[in-house]
Chain A
Amino acid sequence: MTAIALAAPKRIILRSPGYWKSTFQRLARDKVAMTALGVIAALFLCAIFAPLIAPADPNAASMIRRLRPIGTPNYPLGSDELGRDMLSRLIYGARLSLIIGVTPVPIAFVIGSAIGILAGYAGGLFNTIIMRTVDVFYAFPSVLLAVALSGALGSGLTNTLVSLTVVFIPQIARIAESVTTQVRQLDYVEAARASGAPAYRIILEQVLGNVLAPIFVFATSLISVSMILASGLSFLGLGVRPPDAEWGLMLNTLRTAIYANPLVAILPGVMIFITSISFNLLSDGLRSAMDVKS
């Protein structure tokens, strides 16, 4: 009997590609999204290998070589108001700009999804309390909330990250809650409950796979907003502090040089723009690859 069971041929199971696999296959065929991904990858490489790429020390000031125009020998992109090499500062600036612009979103994604999914699955009073709190934060335009928090907490890298994360958590939690509330009522969740599975395993194995995609798309679309907001805080003097190289902060300090050397003065903004638009296009590509309706 056992021998027969052992001798029985192992079944060959035909497997369809999973949801994420086919999503990324579709995304890989999207030329715009792939270009955007390439730009983002290049920016990250710049940030990581800044010391190898940058031609000069980003903090080496020179009082006699201030505000050189673009194309000056040794200063391919000119110099700033303290005579520091713009190209090197733009390359080094990618480090802090990407850190403060990108990091808040994944953190908020984890916290916001957790809050929203739990509130959506639990329903009832717990949901009401959480969602009313979220509504309070939602009552502020993002810029105002970020400025209010940074203004109260004070400038600095950590405080910037904290305020931006707090700005995005309610937005993500709101999406997560509404998606989860819809999924919770579906028959397959009922069927999972009928199997007697504990709630946390139903959330992890049945709900999560279905709610994560739309939340993820929404979160990626926030990175573009976050880049602008983060640099905006630095631009106001609420973000990272001088003399650190960060695009928003550079834009702020160069504002006074706008009459003397306008082209150099607007360079950091170009970087913010390029980064923001690349993340936006990548997110759009991901959205259509997932076929999630906004």
Chain B
Amino acid sequence: MTETLSFLIDERDRGGPAQPLLSVKGLVKRFPVKSINPFAKKRHVSAVDGIDFEVLKGETLGVVGESGCGKSTTARLLMKLMPQDEGELLFDGEEIGVALSVKEYRRNVQMVFQDSYASLNPRLTIEQAISFGPRMHGEADGKALSDAHDLLERVGLDPGRFAGRYPHELSGGQRQRINIARALAFKPRLVILDEAVSALDKSVGAQVLNLLLDLKRDLGLTYIFISHDLNVVQFMAQRVMVMYLGKVVEIGDCREVFAHPKHPYSSALLSSMPRVDPRNRTQRPPLSGDPPNPIDPPSGCRFHPRCFKAEGVCSTTSPELFALDGDHRAACLANIPGSGHSAASGNGVAA
């Protein structure tokens, strides 16, 4: 109940609960490939290759995929840490850089990085690190510091013991709490958690996850939760988005996707997930081989060289996300009626 109420009482809210907090449309990021030969044709890697999705108010959107699939690039694009090559971002209905300035946007969206040590400046004390952002936005030093102390308490650290310390004197879990406190210093509405607990011990990670859930409830936050750990995503997220080689291959309600994955890649990914229950052993075929070279992605569906459902049509036609039922969408020709795939419905002449 509090979850639904929290954004209603947020005076910054504009479009109401039905309007997505963040809409991503046609996002593309290419990196030039360094070549020794200066006369060679410039080549690019498409780290993010035209993705669309929405983050709803008050939800946690999980983002999963193998390393190199573009998860972290997406996070940095959403954070405006690098310019996108194509596409637009709308925050609560306002286009960023047009109706909403980047500076104002950054007060609303913050990020927690994976490496808790590298993301804290070794020469700044904890209170300096947390108060840096608000000071940059014109807050007085004294106010910023006392706010930083309050935030430390909020993330479960005693300000008296920790505010004057340096990052190297703290444990990984404590440092990640500080990174969370720093992200919260702006009172953001959306927090991007990029592998935020992946580097922590399981038990410490679990405590941080619980802290994140508490903060979300108390502050009415929305999360984008990026992780390669499917168990953690299942625990945290309401909806989940599966990425493969810079594309979204499946998106939908978390329970629905985990129970009935519609994309062969998702099912392969899920089948690699360790099970706690011996009676519920994995039956699906596991994923074999490495992801292909993103400089030369496979034609058609990018997953077809590794896909057990692949047919001739898969190497020629690139599937778009297709709505299956309600919110659940997947980009697999086998699910798209009339696509030419033998498993798809509406195929008069099966190959």
Whether the complex brings A and B within 8 Å at their CB atoms is answered yes
Which residues of B lie under 8 Å from residue A19 when comparing CB positions? 122-123, 166
* A196 and B81 within 8 A (CB): no
* B132 and A205 within 8 A (CB): yes
Q: Shortest CB–CB separation between residue A92 and chain B, in angstroms?
A: 42
Binds B, one of A9-17, A66-74, A273-281: A9-17
Apart from the given pairs A196-B107, A201-B136, A209-B123, 4 other A-B contacts in the complex at a CB distance below 8 Å: A15-B164, A186-B118, A191-B111, A209-B121
Which residues of A lie under 8 Å from residue B118 when comparing CB positions? 186-188
Q: Which of A187, A190, A197 contacts B132 (CB 8 A)?
A: A197
* B132 and A13 within 8 A (CB): no
* B125 and A190 within 8 A (CB): no
Which residues of B lie under 8 Å from residue A195 when comparing CB positions? 106, 110, 132-133, 136-137, 186
Q: Shortest CB–CB separation between residue A95 and chain B, in angstroms?
A: 37
Binds A, one of B22-30, B155-163, B207-215: B155-163
Per the bound structure, the CA–CA distance linking A249 and B29 in Å amounts to 63
Which residues of B lie under 8 Å from residue A197 when comparing CB positions? 132-133, 136
Per the bound structure, the CA–CA distance linking A14 and B125 in Å amounts to 11
Which residues of B lie under 8 Å from residue A209 when comparing CB positions? 121, 123-124
B 131-168 binary contact with A (CB < 8 Å = 1; else 0): 01100110000000000010000000001110111100
Q: Shortest CB–CB separation between residue B38 and chain A, in angstroms?
A: 13
| 8 sampled A-B residue pairs with Cβ under 8 A | A13-B127, A16-B165, A188-B119, A188-B120, A190-B119, A196-B107, A197-B133, A210-B123
Nearest CB in chain B to that of A198: its residue: B136
A 177-206 binary contact with B (CB < 8 Å = 1; else 0): 000000000111011111111100100011
Number of chain A residues whose Cβ lies closer than 8 Å to a Cβ of chain B? 25
B79 on the A face (CB < 8 A): yes
Which residues of A218-248 have CB atoms within 8 Å of chain B's CB atoms? none
Nearest CB in chain A to that of B104: its residue: A196
Which residues of A lie under 8 Å from residue B115 when comparing CB positions? 187
Nearest CB in chain A to that of B153: its residue: A11
* B102 and A191 within 8 A (CB): no
Nearest CB in chain A to that of B128: its residue: A205
B 195-238 binary contact with A (CB < 8 Å = 1; else 0): 00000000000000000000000000000000000000000000
* B132 and A192 within 8 A (CB): yes
Q: Which of A13, A187, A210 contacts B159 (CB 8 A)?
A: A13
**Most chain A beta carbons < 10 A, residue from B80, B123, B127, B133:** B123
Nearest CB in chain B to that of A191: its residue: B119
Q: Shortest CB–CB separation between residue A22 and chain B, in angstroms?
A: 10
* B125 and A16 within 8 A (CB): yes
B 77-118 binary contact with A (CB < 8 Å = 1; else 0): 001110000000000000000000011001100110111001
Nearest CB in chain A to that of B107: its residue: A196
Which residues of B lie under 8 Å from residue A12 when comparing CB positions? 160
Which residues of A lie under 8 Å from residue B160 when comparing CB positions? 11-14
Nearest CB in chain A to that of B169: its residue: A16
List 9 A-B pairs, minimum CB-CB distance, nearest first: A15-B164, A195-B133, A187-B119, A209-B123, A197-B136, A196-B106, A187-B118, A187-B113, A188-B121
Task: Given A191-B182, A197-B132, check contact A210 B81 (CB 8 Å).
Answer: no
Per the bound structure, the CA–CA distance linking A186 and B115 in Å amounts to 10
Per the bound structure, the CA–CA distance linking A102 and B11 in Å amounts to 61
Per the bound structure, the CA–CA distance linking A191 and B115 in Å amounts to 12
* B106 and A194 within 8 A (CB): yes
**Most chain B beta carbons < 10 A, residue from A13, A19, A191, A210:** A191
Q: Shortest CB–CB separation between residue B188 and chain A, in angstroms?
A: 10
Q: Shortest CB–CB separation between residue B287 and chain A, in angstroms?
A: 30
Which residues of B lie under 8 Å from residue A198 when comparing CB positions? 136
Nearest CB in chain A to that of B164: its residue: A15
Which residues of B lie under 8 Å from residue A16 when comparing CB positions? 125, 164-166, 169
Per the bound structure, the CA–CA distance linking A254 and B320 in Å amounts to 88
Which residues of A lie under 8 Å from residue B123 when comparing CB positions? 18-19, 209-210
Per the bound structure, the CA–CA distance linking A191 and B117 in Å amounts to 12
Nearest CB in chain B to that of A213: its residue: B123
